[in-house]
Amino acid sequence: MENHANQGTPELRRAARLSVAPMMDWTDRHCRYFHRLISTETLLFTEMVTAPALVRGGALHLLDYSPEEHPVALQLGGSDPAELRQAARMGAEAGYDEVNLNVGCPSDRVQSGCFGAILMTRPELVAECVSEMQAECRAEVTVKCRIGVDDQTPEDVLPDFIETVAAAGVTRFTIHARKAWLEGLSPKENRDIPPLDYPLVHRMKAAYPHLHISINGGIATLDDAFPHLEQGLDGVMIGRAAYHQPYDILGAADARIYGKGAGPTRTEVVHQMLPYIEAHLTAGGRLNQITRHMLGLFAGQPGARQWRRYLSENAHATGAGPETVLAALAQIPEAA
């Protein structure tokens, strides 16, 4: 199998020290723009975009993003090598810094389409897919996977999976440190019920020191993230916590993870969002398409509940705009 690997830039690998996980219905372009204002350094991911939607469905709007979002990665779902090759090329042409193949999503829809976590059982097919993706893709091609599925023994299958896919040219993996149970657990249950096995992911880094390995799953704070980095992993990916408490994670990330100066305050982030909101409304969009991602900005702060409630009750109204956001901000006693 010919190796077409694009190893990625040092800047991209540095950004991948902390990333926000791809999350369906959550990490859309509005969410990513908002997150980028809080952290200039963190690697951001799209929601999973299926290769058939791009190649057969012509849904090119799924590739839309703002230039300010860089560094940003496109996550693809699929299992047809030729289709993924086309989709990866489209993503690279759109300017994404990285194209990631989903080998971890446990939903029924994913199983029926033979992509996502079910591909853990077919490492040779994954290798063929990523080889094709690299053939015409200027962006780095990476893989996000689980430690195994169903009755697989992770200690056995994960090294075989990594070796097979790495032989096709992939040098960067994000490993969700849980099995996916495709029989008997819902997608939601798969995020919490299978036990975490962090030590296995650390053993994979020790076994394959030349690979860039990030860990994902159950990491809710930067304090949780640091031990993984200090023990040798190359990156940490945080999902739901980065969405529900974005400032707690991303607001401190630039200083603590990347050694940069302090970023904007929560209040400054709100004001910096206003021109983006105005442009979205002018283009025919609705306020709540953006503000639904901002509800957790003041999590843990005085007035957080009032902020959430005001936006939840008013952002969907006809004519709601920046003044609605400022009225919500006024609910914060000492916005900071």
Extract the annotated binding site for FMN.
Answer: 22-24, 75, 144, 176, 216-218, 239-240
Q: Is 145 a catalytic residue?
A: no
Residues contributing to the annotated binding site = 22-24, 75, 144, 176, 216-218, 239-240
User: Contact at 8 Å (CB) between 213 and 175?
Assistant: yes
213 DSSP β-pair partners: 173
The position carrying tokens 């401190």 is 252
- As a whole number of angstroms, the distance between CA 78 and CA 116 comes to 7
The active-site residue out of 105, 129, 137, 145 is: 105
Residue 254 phi, psi dihedral angles, 5° rounding: -60, -40
- As a whole number of angstroms, the distance between CA 105 and CA 89 comes to 22
Closest CA to 30 of 191, 246, 207, 198: 246
- As a whole number of angstroms, the distance between CA 86 and CA 135 comes to 10
Residue 127, exposed/middle/buried by CB under 10 A (0-12, 13-18, 19+)?
buried
The residues carrying an active-site annotation are 105
